[in-house]
Structure formats: structure tokens, C-alpha cells
Amino acid sequence: MLPVDALQQMYQQVILDHAKKPHGRVAALPEPEPGAAISHQINPTCGDEITLELQVKDGKIAELTWEGQGCSISQASASVMNDIVKNAELKDARAAEQVFLELMNSRGKGLADEKAEEVLGDAVAFTGTSQYPARIKCALLGWMALKDAIAKVENNG
């Protein structure tokens, strides 16, 4: 097991890497494909924004792209989320969203369930973020866009 300081540095590096080179991010979303679900979310506290487009085929996330602006936390979290849920079954994407929400509600303690941590992969890097209520909304922004887009797909399907 790594010492706490080394673990925190590794987590910070994961967030910085994803913020610098966000996965799934596009400069501008193209015209939506038929059947696409789009969700636009804003964090009114700081002005961060994310617009997410979701394509689902045969119960799986076939395409997930997003555009956004904001702090490193919001952009990195959306990038990590993209890696976790792209090509996932909708039920697994919803489960990952719930586990991430639990992590954000942990107040920096993390998750007790190791299997839950496996679901999140790099997203456990946001454990420290959950200590700061003002930053939690930033970390959840992309995930809330995902939750909304999945609900739109399920309600129209």
C-alpha cells in the first residue's frame, strides 16, 4: 500500500492528466444524431458547464461525447466518467453514477467496498474532492449530465 502522501500525489496527477487531455471531449458538438439524448448542465456556483450527447444502441452506450468549460475538477471528472461508461450497459452506467455519488458523499473517507472502487477506476482520484462541498458540484457536473441523458433515453425508448 502506498503512503497517503504518495497516493494523494497520484490522485492529483490523474486529475491533472484528464484535465489537460480530456477523453470524449469535442470542441463543439455536431448536429445530434436521431435518437441522441442531450443534456446541458451548469454549476451556478462557479459557472462550469457541460453539454453531453449520448447515443445508445442495444442497451449499451455506443457514443458519448461532451463539450464543456470550467475548472480542472469538472473537466477531469467528465473525462474519467467517459472512460468508465463508454460502451457500458445502461444499468452499469447508472450503477457507476450511483457509486460516484456515494464517493462524493463520503466527505473524503472514500468507499468501504473494494468492488465499488473497482467500478470507478480512476474516479477514486476524486476522493479528496469530496472533502470540499463547493468542489463536489464540480465533480458531479458531468455525472449529472449522464444521469439526465440516460433518463431521456429511457423515457423515449
Query: pLDDT of 82-135, one tens digit each?
Result: 999 999 999 999 999 999 999 999 988 888 777 777 889 889 999 999 999 989
Sign of CA dihedral 92, 97, 102, 103: positive
pLDDT of 16: 92
pLDDT of 157: 57
Structural domains of the chain, with CATH: 4-29+36-156 (3.90.1010.10)
Query: pLDDT of 32-62, one tens digit each?
Result: 888 899 999 999 999 999 999 999 999 999 9
Q: DSSP per residue over 91-146, as a string? A: HHHHHHHHHHHHHHTSTT---S-HHHHHHHGGGGGGTGGGG-HHHHHHHHHHHHHH
pLDDT score of 30 more than 60 = yes
